Amino acid sequence: MIIKKSADEIDKMRTAGKVCAKVFEEVEPLLKPGTKTKDIDALVEKVIRSEGCVPSFKGYRGFPGSACISLNEEIVHGIPGRRKLREGDLVKLDVGAIYEGFHADTAWTFYVGDEPPPAVEKLMRTTEDSLWAGIGAARAGNRVGDIGHAVQEVAEAAGFSVVREYVGHAVGRELHEDLQIPNYGPAGRGPVLEEGMTLALEPMVNVGDWRTEVLDDDWTVVTADGALSAHYEHTIAVQDGEALVLTARA
């Protein structure tokens, strides 16, 4: 069953979402060569807690960090640690916060260095565009399949592939609520989107093949072919018929 939220509950998620947006703002200056990923994680946790929220990911199924930090060919679920960022790294930072029992979940891709090379810039721009295409399709009366179809069209038109084995999800009192939202597939399929649904849309787009593997740490998901991947995620609410982005960045 897809759990719909009241306006009051959506407001709580929006507060959590604003805190996540603030996390990105505060963390961005740290995303430079020499920074250890565990220091990024520590700042993420500090900002979330200083705003009266709790990190969604800390301890979730035993995850040790407050942020998932995935580099380059790593797609999602990277564990923060002693590893240092290097010039040219592509950093996928995924954070979640709980405010008064409600989660917001968002991810962004950052380049370490001044200007990404054109191929990297294209991957970043396309993946963000694919997210916005998915958000545009998340309207009341549309179906879940319309979201994935819109994402896939944008990603594949640019010559990239969309990860299949990890998908978006409903979000609210639980980080992952009932409803999977693939980033691929035919339009017009799946449950109808209705007022009050709250969804985390999160395309993961690969330069090479869509297939993935999990590293020996049992968390880090990488591209099977070792090519680059990007990840953007927003939590949205279907409100007044359209997608309201709860984790919007300034």
By the criterion CB under 5 A, which residues form the site for Mg ion? 105, 200, 202
Answer for the pair 149, 185: CB distance below 8 angstroms, yes or no: yes
What minimum distance in Å lies between the beta carbon of 105 and Mg ion? 4
Q: Which helix (H) or strand (E) element contains residue 40?
A: helix 37-50
**CA neighbor of 2 nearest in space, from 169, 141, 234:** 169
Give the C-alpha separation, 172 to 71, whole Å. Answer: 28
Give the C-alpha separation, 202 to 131, whole Å. Answer: 7
Answer for the pair 5, 16: CB distance below 8 angstroms, yes or no: no
Complex with Mg ion: residue 74 or 105, whichever CB lies closer: 105
Complex with Mg ion: residue 57 or 111, whichever CB lies closer: 57
What minimum distance in Å lies between the beta carbon of 60 and Mg ion? 11
Complex with Mg ion: residue 9 or 202, whichever CB lies closer: 202
What minimum distance in Å lies between the beta carbon of 94 and Mg ion? 7
Complex with Mg ion: residue 47 or 76, whichever CB lies closer: 76
| CA 28 remoteness from chain centre | 16
What minimum distance in Å lies between the beta carbon of 106 and Mg ion? 8
Complex with Mg ion: residue 116 or 203, whichever CB lies closer: 203
Name 46's Cβ contacts closer than 8 Å, sequence gap at least 6: none
What minimum distance in Å lies between the beta carbon of 73 and Mg ion? 20
Please spell the DSSP secondary structure of 54-66, one letter per residue. EESSTTGGG---S
